[in-house]
Structure 1
Amino acid sequence: MTETEQKILMMISSSGESKAKAFEALNQVAEGQYDKARALLKEAQEIDLEAHKVQTQLITAEMSDSEDKPEMSLLMVHAQDHYMTSQLARDLIEKLIDVFEKKEGK
C-alpha cells in the first residue's frame, strides 16, 4: 500500500468516526442530554479536522508540478464522499439539536 493510499484510508476512517459521533449526539438529544450531544459534536468536529488536513495535503500535492503527485483514484473519490457526508451529518444534527432545544425552551 502506498503512502497516499494510507492517507486516503485515514481520511475514510476519520470521516466514519466523525459521522458515528454525530449520530451518537443525536441519540443523546433523544434522551434530553443536550450538553452531552454538544460535546459529542465537538468531538466529531475535531475528528473531521484530521480528515480535512489529509484532504488538504492530497489536494495540494495534486496541484503541484511535482512528478510524484498523486493521481485521482476511485479510492480518493470514495474518501471525499465519506468526508462530505460526515460534515453534512454533523451540520444537520447540530441544527436538529438547536431545534429541539428551542422547542423545549432550553
Structure 2
Amino acid sequence: MRTEEVQEIAMLMIANGGDARSQSMEAIRFAKQGDFDLAQQKFALAKESILTAHQLQTKLLVGEAQGKSSELSLLMIHAQDHLMNAMTVNDMAKEIVDLYQLIKPVHREI
C-alpha cells in the first residue's frame, strides 16, 4: 500500500475516532440533563464513526494479510490510539448513561 494512502487512512481514522469520542461524551452530558433520547442519538452517531474507522483499520489489516504491508509510522500508531480510545470512551459512556437513567427521570417537554 502506498505511503500516501496509508497516511490518508490514518487521518480518516483519527477524525472518525475523535468524532466518536466527542459524540459519546455529548451523550453523557445529555443524560446528565435527563435527555435520554438525545443521548441515544449521540450514541448512534458515535457508532457510525466507530464503524467507519474500524472499516478503515480492517482495510489495512486485510492488505497486510495479503502481503501488502506498510511501514509503521507514528501517525498510524496515533490513529490506532484514537480508535481504541473512542471505543473505550463509548463503552464507558453507555454505562454512565445507564446509571443516569436509574437516578434521573426521563426529560419530557410540556
Normalising by structure 2, what TM-score? 0.87
* Secondary structure of residue in 1 paired with 2:100: helix
Identity, % of aligned pairs?
30
Unaligned runs of 5+ in 1: none
Look up the match of 1:18. Answer: 20
Inter-partner Cα distance in structure 2 for 1:103 and 1:92: 17
RMSD over aligned Cα atoms: 1.5
Q: Does 1:63 align with 2:65?
A: yes
Letter in 1 for 2:11: L
Task: Write out per-residue CA displacement over residues 4-45 of structure 1, whole angstroms, 9 at most, x where no aligned residue.
Answer: 100110000000011111111111012110111011011101
Look up the match of 2:74. Answer: 74
Normalising by structure 1, what TM-score? 0.90
* Number of equivalent positions: 104
Letter in 2 for 1:95: E
Inter-partner Cα distance in structure 2 for 1:79 and 1:65: 21
Q: Residues 62 and 71 of structure 1 are in contact (CA less than 8 Å); yes or no, is this contact kept in structure 2? A: no
CA drift of 1:63 comes to: 2.2
Runs of 4+ in 1 over 2 A off after TM superposition: 103-106
CA drift of 1:65 comes to: 2.1
Inter-partner Cα distance in structure 1 for 2:74 and 2:102: 42
* Secondary structure of residue in 2 paired with 1:16: helix
* Secondary structure of residue in 2 paired with 1:44: helix
Look up the match of 2:10. Answer: 8
Unaligned runs of 5+ in 2: none
